[in-house]
Structure formats: C-alpha cells, structure tokens
Chains A and B, each alone.
Chain A
Amino acid sequence: MPLDCRPEELLIATIARLLRGCRNIAVGVSSPIPGSAALLARAESEEPLRVELLESLEGNSFTRGSVELFDRAAQGRIDAFFLGGGQIDGQANINLVGTGDYPRTAVRWPGSFGSAYLYFLVPRVILFREEHSRRVLVPKVDFVSAPGVSAPEVYRRGGPCALITGKALFRFDRDRRRFRLESLHPGHDLADVLETTGFDFDHDAAPAATAGPDAATLEMIRGPVAREIAKAYPKFAARVFPRA
C-alpha cells in the first residue's frame, strides 16, 4: 500500500474503480462504503455522473418514492447498484433471507429487498460484504433471494460483475459462472483467502495486490466524499473520517 489508509478507504477506492464509465449509480440503504465509492466515482468522473442515495432525503431525485428506482432500473436508467448477502455462493447466488429450512429459518435476516429484481436489470451489480468467511461465502446458499445466473430464455440485462470483501476482490465470469480472484487486499494472502472462502474460484498462482488510493484520491475521500456521505451516514462518517 503506497499510503497509510484505513481498510474502509481501500474498499471505497477499489469500488470506485469498478464504477468507472457509469453514468447513473444507485445505492441502497445501509450502504455507507458503496455510497462513498459512488460519490468518489462522481468526483473523479470527467463525464456527468448521477448518484442516487436511497438512504438520504436530499441525496436522491426520486419524486414518486422508491418505486421510481425500480422503474428506472427496468428502463435501463441505472448502470450500477450494490447488493450484499448473509450468504453468497460460487455462482453468485445471494441469500438475504436466512439460514436453515425456509420458512422457519434458524437464523432470519431482514429479507430480499429489491435484489430479486435489480440483479436482473442493473448491468453492473457489485456484491459487497466486508466479512470474508466460510459462514458468508458458502458452496450453496440456503435460500436464493436472487440468482447469479439465469437460463438463456429469461430476460436479463444485468447481474453480478464483482464481489469485494474485506480481504479480496473477485470478478464474476457470467459465461463460466464462476468467480476469479482479481486481487488480494494488502495484509491478506492467497492461503488465507482459500481457507476462508467456502466456494471454489479461479486464481493465479501469485495474485496481484489490490491497489490502494493515491494521495489525490485519498484527499478526495477524506474531504468532499466524507462531508457528503456524513449527511446520509453520520455515525459511519464520524467513525471513519474523524477529522472531516
């Protein structure tokens, strides 16, 4: 890592790189790191780039409530969105509902939210989950809130493009239906990632390191991005950017 930066700042910079070329990015609720990344992508973009933060009143342009997000997505007006998962498997299926036998799941999570729809319609869906463990990254999810891939006859203009965790960045190959390890975050090695990932994935013998933010990017993150994200996520901003 060229600079001393926090893990959150590395994730923000890495996700922002995945957003290059987007014109319209939407960010769901409870997503301060993806939200910060989208704001960073906007700050660094030479083309006009819109960011819709669902969490904040002034951070989005919906005039008909959140129903408008789904209509825009179906029309192709949203280029990128973020999804997480209590479980994520090697075919990029995600589970936001719970573990064990549905419906009386042993552990119940909130629910599928808009995932079962947006995963099909937003071209660039980035899976984001900080916890990188066999508990989260499983061989097969217990409940498919949204499938990573679909049969050829199913209308699908979007889907997963990458998975970023606290340890690594993976790209999803939609044709091969598999993840490929793209880079390891500083401080993590391949053996550790193999050990803590519950599904098979492709990788180089010596994977690259995830590039950290350069000085200009870090300044952007700690300045305008931190101030903007604080409006939607004051607690997050106070914790990660105490001096902003």
Chain B
Amino acid sequence: MTDSRLFLLLDELAAQVPDGASLALPKDSAGAPMAAVRALVRRGAKDLHLINVPTSGLATDLLVGAGAARLVETSGVSLGEFGGAPRFNAAVKAGAVRVRDATCPAIYAGLQAAEKGLPFMPLRGVIGSDVLAFRDDWKVIDNPFAEAAADPLLLLPAIRPDIALFHARRADRQGNVWIGVQGELAIMAHAAERTLVTVEEIVDGDLMAREESAAGTIPAVYVTAVAEAPRGAWPLGFLDLYPADEAELADYARLARSAEGFAAYLERGCAPAVSR
C-alpha cells in the first residue's frame, strides 16, 4: 500500500499511515493537519501511537475519540480556550487509551537525538517529578563530565516516529516544503522515518533556489509525500492565513462532552463531502 508518488490526494496521503504506526503530530497552533486527521478518521485508522510535538488538542482528541489511537505520548492535550480535551480525558479515565506523560523539551530532545542518529539526549530539570517517576524508559545518570560534586542528569531515548504528519503553507513541485519559523516541523521531519505533509498550496518555482525561501524550507530529501489541502488546518486557525473557526470549535467542545455527541459530530464533520 506504500505509494511512491510524491503528490497524492488527501485520502491517498492518509492511506500512507498504516494502522499501528507511531505518528508525530505538531501542536494545534503550529501546523496541526486537521484535514488529514479527518481523512484518517474516515479511513478508520487503528492502534496509532500518537506523539504530540510537544502538545496537541483537537487533532489528538478527534483521533482518540474515533478509536484510532492506542497510546498518546504527550506533554499536554487541551482545546485551549475551549477547555479540556473531552474525548482524550474520557478515554484516559476509562483506560481506553494509554497515556505516556512527558514534558515539552523532553519530546523535542528525543526527536533531536533521532535527528542526530544518537541513541539518547541529556536534558536538565525533570528530576524529582512524577513525570520521571512514571517513565521507566527514562534514565538518570551521573554527569560523567562533572568536575567535583555529583550531578544527576536525565537521559531520554531517541524518538524516531514511523511517520511525521503536519500541515504547512506551501510546497513546490520538487517536494520542498516551506515552514517559515515553525522550526519544530523540521525537527519532526528530520527525526521521522517518513514525512507526510499537507499544504495550503503547491507553487511553481524552486523554494531552494533563493536563500530567503530556502532558510525556512524543509528540503524534499526529508519529504515522503505531499497533498494539497487548502484550509487544511480548519477549524483551527493557521498562522496569519486564517483565524480559528470559533463557532465550529465551540460546537465541537460542546458535542464531544458525550460519546453520542461526538458520534454526531463525526457524522457531520468527517464525511467526505465536508473536506473544506
């Protein structure tokens, strides 16, 4: 089912995320690929291990509510000013999804280790927290470079997602993807085995040809496939292109309080006709 074409339709792109994959998603405010998330829900994705980079909101709540995730690795899941993430919270309470709590810089550090091909990355802080107490995959060593006194230091294993999936402003026809200052998207793409991107638009020309655009570009070498998805972050806002659809988000927050309301929302929001 792996499709070797660089440019795919939205549902074809979603089909490139196999059930069971570890899937890195950016935070809601920096390129959450909502159109692709809806396509994953439509195709009935299962058993995903979601890696929030470093937090998430609607994207994770939809996938968890739809039963697409078995594990959520996160530093925080919230709908922001629309309140807590209702389906995520309910699933955690019911034990329907496992949660692996982290802290934002630990997720970045794990991805940065993968970026560098390293087995782990050290990080300051965290020692003495219950975040660490419940992570048996994290280790504390004594800093081997410390000169005098003991200096305990946290080590985090590399995070190498099977797939990174995010929404960006534009791609060119070579598959270079412009992300501007959203640098964590580059970290995700560098760390993941495969990177799938939805974009607002596909443009002519070569983003790598000029330094001004190349500086904010993920070169095509990291990009597995691209799908054009105008307003692909809707109902979230996207950078300065469009604001959040507050009425839609308020509707979601209200409906998703119950499993029945969430099902009604899915009926309405994830049907192929409503790809907006």
Instruction: Confirm or deny: B127 has a beta carbon within 8 angstroms of a beta carbon on chain A.
Output: yes
From A68, A117, A143, contact of B106 by CB (8 A)? A117
Q: Are A117 and B183 in contact (CB under 8 A)?
A: no
Give chain A's interface secondary structure class: loop
Report the separation of the CA atoms of residues A150 and B127 in the bound assembly, to the nearest whole angstrom: 8
Chain B positions 148 through 185: 1 when the CB is less than 8 Å from some CB of chain A, otherwise 0: 01111100000000000000000000000000011111
Given known contacts A105-B93, A116-B103, A155 and B151 CB-to-CB distance under 8 angstroms: yes
Q: How many residues on the A side are at the interface (Cβ–Cβ under 8 A)?
A: 46
Chain B positions 173 through 215: 1 when the CB is less than 8 Å from some CB of chain A, otherwise 0: 0000000011111010000000000000000000000000000
Q: How many residues on the B side are at the interface (Cβ–Cβ under 8 A)?
A: 54
Return A73 CB to nearest CB of chain B, in Å. Answer: 8
Q: Are A117 and B127 in contact (CB under 8 A)?
A: no
| Among A108, A120, A145: residue with most chain B CB under 10 A | A108
From A57, A105, A113, contact of B104 by CB (8 A)? A113
Instruction: Confirm or deny: B136 has a beta carbon within 8 angstroms of a beta carbon on chain A.
Output: no
Instruction: Confirm or deny: B271 has a beta carbon within 8 angstroms of a beta carbon on chain A.
Output: no
Q: Are A57 and B239 in contact (CB under 8 A)?
A: yes
Q: Are A65 and B183 in contact (CB under 8 A)?
A: yes
Instruction: Confirm or deny: B45 has a beta carbon within 8 angstroms of a beta carbon on chain A.
Output: no
Report the separation of the CA atoms of residues A146 and B74 in the bound assembly, to the nearest whole angstrom: 16
From A107, A117, A146, contact of B123 by CB (8 A)? A117
Q: Are B127 and A112 in contact (CB under 8 A)?
A: no
From A65, A103, A110, A235, contact of B184 by CB (8 A)? A65
Report the separation of the CA atoms of residues A66 and B54 in the bound assembly, to the nearest whole angstrom: 9
Q: Are B93 and A108 in contact (CB under 8 A)?
A: yes
For the complex of A and B, the 7 pairs showing the least CB-CB separation, nearest first, are A64-B183, A111-B76, A65-B184, A110-B78, A120-B125, A70-B105, A117-B125
Residues in A lying within 8 Å of B, measured CB to CB: 29-30, 57, 62-68, 70, 74, 96-98, 102-121, 143-147, 150-151, 153-155, 235
